[in-house]
Amino acid sequence: MRIFVTMIAFLRGSFAFKSPALVHIDVAGVGYELQISLNTYSRIESLESGALLTYLHIREDAHVLYGFFDKAEKDLFIQLIGISGVGAATARMMLSSMKPEEITRAILQGNAKQLETIKGIGKKSAERIVLELRDKLGKSREENTNISSLTSNTLEQDALNALITLGIARPAAENAIKRVMSEGPGADKIEDVIKKALKIL
């Protein structure tokens, strides 16, 4: 028997209930329960409504929806649970103990000792996290740095993201957008930028 799972990218609505580990979002009268980290809670604590990015974690006994305030936290969560021995609960504990940028910095610096201070993370787990994610996070940071000059405005950023989603390699997409924007006026809509960029590629 096939099981089809509907992916939920984000939820926007009012926060019917909030706690440091759990939030209920009322979306048009439907209440969604999301597991969250302390990091996300601190960002929404004073808000009555908003949007959270989501990740559906599938277990044999349950489907658990996790919520994140921003993409950086969600991306790091997904990276962490991809490591053997690091489950969703452990990843959430890590994001509740340290900010995403602090965890990333510790990994890039090879500071396993700092990760060991987190409840549930022993020496072997900390070393495995550093070993498996150091290069990945380093490459990701380099890519973000390399496109910083291009993404000075929202139009170019959105166009770049769209091309990458379509399967275009980042360097090629970046160069195409630069060429489109250098041609002058007439590319003030994201649809126009994408269409022109695709013709160049």
Q: Are residues 51 and 76 in the same domain?
A: no
Residue 4 lies in a domain: no
Q: Are residues 81 and 105 in the same domain?
A: yes
Mean pLDDT on 88-102: 94
Backbone φ and ψ for 169, nearest 5 degrees, come out as -65, 145
pLDDT at 167 over 60: yes
Supply the pLDDT for residue 93: 94
Supply the pLDDT for residue 77: 96
| CA separation for the pair 166, 105 (Å, rounded) | 31
pLDDT at 49 over 60: yes
Residue 1 lies in a domain: no
Supply the pLDDT for residue 186: 59
Q: Are residues 77 and 50 in the same domain?
A: no
Considering only CA atoms, which of 54, 107, 43, 59 is closest in space to residue 80?
107
Q: How many domains does the chain have?
A: 3
Last residue of a domain, one of 110, 127, 146: 146
Q: Are residues 126 and 88 in the same domain?
A: yes
Q: Are residues 139 and 166 in the same domain?
A: no
Supply the pLDDT for residue 42: 93
Last residue of a domain, one of 128, 146, 164: 146
Supply the pLDDT for residue 130: 95
> Considering the chain, what is the average pLDDT of its residues?
86
Give the CA distances from residue 45 to residues 22, 36, 123, in Å, rounded to whole numbers and listed in that order. Answer: 11, 12, 33
Mean pLDDT on 90-108: 94
pLDDT at 1 over 50: no
pLDDT at 155 over 90: no
Residue 5 lies in a domain: no
| CA separation for the pair 165, 171 (Å, rounded) | 13
Q: Are residues 78 and 134 in the same domain?
A: yes
What tokens does 152 get?
């000075």
Beta bridge partners of 123: none
Supply the pLDDT for residue 82: 93
Range of the domain at 34: 10-68
pLDDT confidence band for 162 (50 / 70 / 90): confident
